[in-house]
Amino acid sequence: MLYLDSAATTRPRPEVVELVAEFLRSPAGNPSSVHPAGMLKRKQLQEAREQLALLLGVPLEGVTFTSGGTESINLAIKGVLFNRGKIKGQLVTSPLEHKAVTETASWFESLGGKVEWVRIDPKTGQVDQNHLSELVGPQTGLVSIQQVNSETGIIQDLPGVAKIIKTKNPACWFHVDGVQGFGKLPLALRETGIDLYSISGHKIGGLTGAGALIQTQRIALEAQLSGGGQEGGRRAGTENLVSILALAKAAQLTFSERLANGSQVENWGRTFIAALSNELPVQLAGSDAVRSPYLFTLLFDKILGEVLLHHLAQKGIYLSQGSACQARSKQLSPSLKALGLKDEQIRSSLRISLAPAELTHSPIEVAQQFIEVIKKLG
């Protein structure tokens, strides 16, 4: 088996598995309880918060644990723009965003909120900064732009975007969906001008069920869950402590290995694409763009991506046709459409996403298996 779908989820790291096993053998305790068992769990929760705060250069109160990237994104957008039943400004975002952003934007519009969609440069996949400058004004409450696109791997110019936002409206908050970039790409949140940053544990070798919304400064967020007032009143509900500890552990390891991991996946991907291109008419979506080495989308000539996906799966090679949250949708990828690709090109696409732990086969060997399948189909 070869797993090339790590943008969807990753295998828990061995160190995380060991941590989880130890946690599950330990005595029960709720972090909100005042007895010694509860106090121990609260200490563990605080240590996880400290670890993330240190890695990201934010204050302790700037780490709000959630159930994952989607909840973090919802908390950022809804928490800023819909406060105490009232709309608190307009939203500016892009058609490239994950469904957690675009569907939340649609929800906001259904309440009467105003959403502005910034144009994308089809050659580079970048937010059109001139258009962004036109859209951001005194009425803008939040701008939400992704760090890395979950289908093409295109990296947005976040410093450039932040500069425009803060120049046009210093009171406007800047949220970044960092789910595909967290721990993999260098990013200084405060220096870049990012106010809110959403992350997820299971994308970096942690567990599902834990993410965080990171704040670089104090922002009045409307809680989306009512209850016991956990997470400083920003997110009610007993914390999923084991997954939070796994997130913190995976983050520590991922940050410490960032340079080595980045080099490994970049070399593997480059060699794989070159080997394919030597034998087949294959295109790289966003080839002129600045991209993350961890994921990319290939366009195959006159072959349906869905058909190729199933034939590769029969050989034990697992990948996807886009983001996991988009997989069951019949709508063609907005991210690929934004690059100016034709419908037939989009239907011929496959996404390949890498994690160092899964690269157990030679890229040339894997490319050869692709070539054999495609030539049979052709």
Catalytic residues, by residue number, are 325
CA distances from 225 to 84, 107, 179 (A): 13, 17, 22
Q: Provide the token pair at 170.
A: 């210093």
Residues 6+ apart with CB under 8 A from 53: 59, 60, 62, 63
Q: Provide the token pair at 154.
A: 């295109």
Q: 101-118 b/e with 16+ CB inside 10 Å = b? A: bbebbeebeeeebebbeb
Residues 6+ apart with CB under 8 A from 295: 6, 7, 148, 150, 151, 152, 153, 180, 351, 352, 353, 354
Q: CA 222, CA 208: separation in Å to the nearest integer?
A: 24
- Residue with tokens 């298996």, as numbered in its chain: 369
- Residue with tokens 């819909």, as numbered in its chain: 82
* 3-state secondary structure labels for all residues of 257-286: CHHHHHHHHHHHHHHHHHHHHHHCCEEECC
Secondary-structure breakdown of the chain: helix, strand, coil percentages, each rounded to the nearest 5: 45, 15, 40
Q: CA 91, CA 143: separation in Å to the nearest integer?
A: 6
* Of 374, 263, 342, residue with least CA distance to 366: 374
